[in-house]
């Protein structure tokens, strides 16, 4: 988990668990790797990606025309509630309001949500 996220609030039925790329993650292609190998001693960092873009290499997401800087990160909140409608989850708006100042300070683009996966144990007999 990103160190910044450890200071975000935690509620009984929701918590910040990670970040997620918006509108989608930036997709590295083989051309990015080749460019980094040829010009950055194989180190594929921000500088290598941006230099590759200047040479014509783009995000590998199908149809994407955004530069690296156009891909942002949002805070991913895990919600443990049976409701299909997030608007009906008790306390969700108060939770988001508590997170907003931290997210703005950290430069996140907004929020995304994921339902908590419930794992049930089943006995398997051969």
* pTM of the model as a whole: 0.77
How far, in Å, CA of 107 to CA of 99, rounded? Answer: 12
Q: How many helices (H) and strands (E) does the chain have?
A: 3, 3
Q: What is the pLDDT of residues 29-69, one digit of tens each?
A: 999 999 999 999 999 999 999 999 999 999 999 999 999 99
Instruction: Identify the pLDDT of residue 119.
Output: 60
How far, in Å, CA of 105 to CA of 100, rounded? Answer: 9
Q: Is pLDDT of 117 > 90?
A: no
How far, in Å, CA of 88 to CA of 16, rounded? Answer: 19
Q: What is the pLDDT of residues 79-103, one digit of tens each?
A: 999 888 999 999 999 999 999 999 9
The Cβ of residue 18 has, within 10 Å, a number of other Cβ atoms equal to 15
Burial class (CB in 10 A: 0-12, 13-18, 19+), 85: exposed
């Amino acid at each position: 988990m990103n160190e910044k996220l450890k200071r975000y609030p935690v509620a009984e039925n929701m918590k910040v668990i990670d970040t997620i790329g918006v509108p989608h993650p930036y997709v590295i292609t083989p051309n990015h790797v080749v460019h980094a190998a040829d010009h950055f001693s194989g180190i594929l960092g921000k500088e290598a990606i941006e230099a590759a873009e200047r040479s014509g290499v783009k995000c590998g997401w199908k149809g994407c025309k955004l530069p690296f800087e156009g891909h942002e990160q949002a805070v991913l909140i895990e919600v443990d509630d049976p409701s299909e409608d997030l608007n009906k989850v008790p306390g969700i708006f108060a939770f988001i309001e508590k997170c907003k100042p931290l997210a703005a300070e950290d430069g996140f683009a907004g929020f995304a949500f994921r339902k908590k996966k419930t794992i049930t144990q089943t006995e398997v007999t051969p």
